[in-house]
Structure 1
Amino acid sequence: MVRTTQSTAKADADASAAAPTRRQQLAAKTRERMLKIAIREFAEKGFSGARVETIARRSKLNIRMIYHYFGGKEKLYVEVLEHVLAKLREAELAVSLDEHAVDPVAGIQQLYDFTEEHFSTHPELLSLLSWENLHRARYLKTSKRIPAMSSPVLDKLHTLIRRGETGGTLRRGIDPLHLYVTLVSLAYFHKSNAHTISRMFDTEMLAPAWQAAHKAQAHELVRAFLQSGEMAEVVPVRAVRGR
């Protein structure tokens, strides 16, 4: 009986130690609030234009708290990049895609659809990637987490490609990384550069009709690229001008 009581007490103590205290919960919420505001600030102004003072003021906190939680502006910026890319990777891996059962072409197009939708609903990711490319990935290079995030996605593509080649529904010689970059390019460029291209061609490229037509064309391109010659079937898409 004594042993049972002692075991129960120990289990309760362990559970209590594992559960976050109220102070820890408040600290986590404060950190999360600062991170969300930092994402907006860096997305709007880039690393050089963003100000730690502004992030602290909008967070309604003393500027010293930024350094307490993140260690400074550069470390905060790198964590912002890690956060938005981690969200993308987590969502990619959560896509209901059984690469061992789904049709390979449909599976790859499903991954494209997800990426296109994610960019549509997370414009801050587009901005942050654009800023970081201007810096030639200077800050992204310092992250050890980001390279590790991409491997599972490439593994999924590799499995789909291998099964499609074996079953004769995909042409041979498709490289998973080249394919992923192509999918992201088709989902990215017409959104990240929409404002300038819209003015150049006097066409509102962010209009839902234009975006839908471009997505349909991307499906054609992906399908025609993936399928072996006898399987490919291209369906013309009428151009839509959103004015």
Structure 2
Amino acid sequence: MPSTTVTATKQEPTRRQQLAGRTRERIFRIALKEFADKGFSGARVEGIASRAKVNIRMIYHYFGGKEALYVEVLEHVLARLREAELAVALDVEKVDPAVGIVQLYDFTESHFSAHPELLCLLSWENLNRARYMKRSKVIPVMSSPVLDKLRRLIERGETAGTLREGIDPLHLYVTLVSLAYFHKSNAYTLSHMFGTPMLTPSWQAAHRKQAHALVRSFLVDEAVVKDAFA
């Protein structure tokens, strides 16, 4: 008698579940924009519900309240950054260390350009001294793959003598993020103060070129570092 095999099939979501999923996603997308534009204090549950065309009670039903929704938004944008970092096509065992580090800067700068909501949310959280980020159990374990890549590139460069000695991976990571962040997060005020439209592609490209030169000088020239701390 031939044997029979039982094939497990994934149960398709019901129409009601599909509608619920779409409603939750719509609330979330609108909340992300509201929080990015206005911060936690400025955003209103009433406004989010109105724009999502749902009853306020639905926000509490799906997310548990304004604070829980905001924390989930923070977790989402940082998780998306980590996913993008993991996807960076960079062979840290073969690429020239200085070239690899500049490429990691380019990745960070490009991600900030593509996701201005991340810049806004980080700025709001810094104003609040990471008050709501501290309430997330997920964010503290989102270690950055970029930091690990930098550490390995520095090790290889120091061993080969192509990078100066004593570069701290975390300090370098913060420096790269700073160079990729400030001219975007503060572009509106700086543009007004100096009468220069800093968000134009040409200005951003020129700034990226300058950042490349700064990073390369820091990585290879011991005299640059000594002069900076003299």
Q: What's the CA shift for 1:147?
A: 2.1
**CA deviation map 1:20-39 (0-9, x unaligned):** 45444443332222211111
- Does the 8 A contact of 2:108 with 2:177 survive in 1? yes
Gaps of 5+ in 2: 224-230
Aligned residues: 223
Counterpart in the other structure of 1:143? 136
**CA deviation map 1:48-74 (0-9, x unaligned):** 110111111211222111111111000
Q: What's the CA shift for 1:86?
A: 0.9
Indicate the SS of the match to 1:61.
coil
Counterpart amino acid of 1:60?
A: K
* 1:195 matched to 2:154: no
Counterpart in the other structure of 1:44? 37
Aligned match for 2:10, one of 3, 9, 16:
16
Alignment of 1:36-115 (within 5 A): 36-115=29-108
TM (norm. structure 1) is 0.86
C-alpha distance in structure 2 between counterparts of 1:16 and 1:204, whole Å: 53
Percent of residue pairs bearing the same amino acid type: 74
Counterpart in the other structure of 1:128? 121
C-alpha distance in structure 1 between counterparts of 2:144 and 2:200, whole Å: 34
C-alpha distance in structure 2 between counterparts of 1:150 and 1:35, whole Å: 24
Alignment of 1:145-224 (within 5 A): 145-224=138-217
- Does the 8 A contact of 1:132 with 1:140 survive in 2? yes
Q: What's the CA shift for 1:215?
A: 0.6
Q: Which moved more, 1:149-158 or 1:41-50?
A: 149-158
C-alpha distance in structure 2 between counterparts of 1:126 and 1:109, whole Å: 21
- Does the 8 A contact of 1:169 with 1:228 survive in 2? no
C-alpha distance in structure 2 between counterparts of 1:150 and 1:130, whole Å: 20
TM (norm. structure 2) is 0.90
Indicate the SS of the match to 2:142.
helix
Q: What's the CA shift for 1:44?
A: 0.8
RMSD of aligned residue pairs (Cα, Å): 1.8
C-alpha distance in structure 2 between counterparts of 1:61 and 1:214, whole Å: 44
Gaps of 5+ in 1: 231-243
